[in-house]
Structure 1
């Protein structure tokens, strides 16, 4: 496991490379994180998934989008369009590191929505796609974020901060800024229609039913090499003390690795 920086001087990204164990081959996977507090909660599970894939002979790259994690940029500078370009840079970086001609992409939540957009935009670079509980309808996700933040009152902490136009406008959600621009991008997400345009193998795994899921499941069931599974497990992106803090969804991770193989 090798941490390093890549990208451009203007857009410096932090990544962690997991080389294929046992010499490996040319199989490679880029992982796309969820957004905000969901990223914080799910990080441990995604590191474990990267380790499992490395043990199976995959070269794996995890990375932080610009304005998130240990990458350059301020948190209010993070946008979905910018993150999409970051995925492209991560793909090219992993191709250089691994010698692969193309990569598979695994995304969780917003990361899955971005992964689907990347597969539509760069079909020659991406060979297969794993969508883990993707955000299917962005407008519903945005309202879910606001409701969750409004419902979680912490003693001594006031209501969500509102940001000035100079800071991008919008408001804070679980400690992370949802600027006006980011809120607009969230609202515009429509993964259901994006998936219908993809020609590559797609595996979608979910731990809970949501609106629009049945349409995607039907779409994927008609394609060779694609599929959908609903697996009862913990939502790693949302921790509720003490029920699922730090829990790793081993069943989901093993199923993803199995499908990849």
Structure 2
């Protein structure tokens, strides 16, 4: 495991860990896209184990923290999904150079899957996230554009073409082939339902922290109304990130962004709505109880073997078999 630093533009630096193959090399790579906040903390151990197993199978693996997360640049309030799309592309290019191959699959955990879906669309020149501009026919400037240290998603007029400097940067980030597969685990495709889940878990964490059967509900309701879910289990959420998550309810999931898309759905996971499920998606239920936001494993495994047994062949084999 080798620590590396990935420059991602606009002063962004992504902290990453590269796992080179320790077995007979397969000529494949896997990029891991983390979940959000406390879910990333909970997933850390299982992703480390998964990366080590893939490396022993001869696969190049890269794990990294998005901007505003973990050990990367920025703080919690800098996190937003459009910038994370470009972070994913920068990490993809880093892994592509390290592995010397275009045969790269992405593994997106929870919200990381949605980021991966949107980022993969960028290889076709599309802005992967729906927004007000997209719904009204206006184009928007990518939120990764730095303006005096701030990001912006202001609409622009005309045909929606970004200035040449941003086109050039996106061309660099999408050089080579796109990922050949996007694999998810409990993918988040319902925006408001996911925010509701985060809020419920946040309430439960507060009650536990106060060691009371109930924290004053009026206080919790006031916080939800005034702050609009500005915090989830100790991690601040920017208003922009909350808006981006809500927009997943308007995301076009009808066309697969890459050749193969598959996902595991554990017990109790938010379902992928039947009317929004694309043809060609491989969605496999797995009998695993996994609490993504718990600070303790409690009665759930830290590293669910049933899930790993499904993920390993999807990520390591040259030919994809759903």
Indicate yes or no: 2:151 matched with 1:151.
no
1:105, 1:130 within 8 Å by CA — same for their partners in 2?
Answer: yes
TM normalised by structure 1 equals 0.86
CA contact (8 A) 1:24 1:57 kept: yes
- Answering whether residue 311 of structure 2 is matched by residue 252 of structure 1, we say no
Q: Distance in 2 between matches of 1:12 and 1:187?
A: 27
State the structure with more CA Rg: 2
Structure 1 residue ranges without an equivalent (≥5):
163-167
* C-alpha spacing 1:76/1:126, structure 2 compared with 1 (3 Å): same
Following the alignment from structure 1 to structure 2, what is the Cα–Cα distance between the partners of residues 191 and 20? 39
- Structure 1 residues 143-152 or 39-48, which shifts more? 143-152
Equivalent residues of 1:169, 1:179 under 8 A apart: no
Q: 1:51-109: per-residue Cα shift (whole Å, max 9, x none)?
A: 11111111000000011101111111111111111001000000111111242100000
Where does residue 47 of structure 2 map in the other structure? 46
Q: Distance in 1 between matches of 2:96 and 2:250?
A: 26
Cα deviation, 1:26-45, whole Å, max 9, x if unaligned, reads 31111000000111111111
Q: Superposition pairs for residues 1-261 of structure 1, below 5 Å?
A: 1-8=1-8, 10-22=11-23, 24-122=25-123, 124-152=177-205, 153=207, 154-155=209-210, 171-190=230-249, 193-194=252-253, 196-208=255-267, 210-215=270-275, 219-220=278-279, 223=280, 227-235=282-290, 237-239=292-294, 242-244=298-300, 247-260=302-315, 261=317
Q: CA–CA distance in 1 between the matches of 2:254 and 2:59?
A: 25
Q: Is contact 1:192-1:216 (8 Å) kept?
A: no
Identify the residue that residue 165 of structure 1 maps to in structure 2.
none
Q: RMSD value over aligned CA atoms?
A: 2.8
Q: Is the 8 A contact 1:236 1:249 kept in 2?
A: no
TM-score by length of 2: 0.71
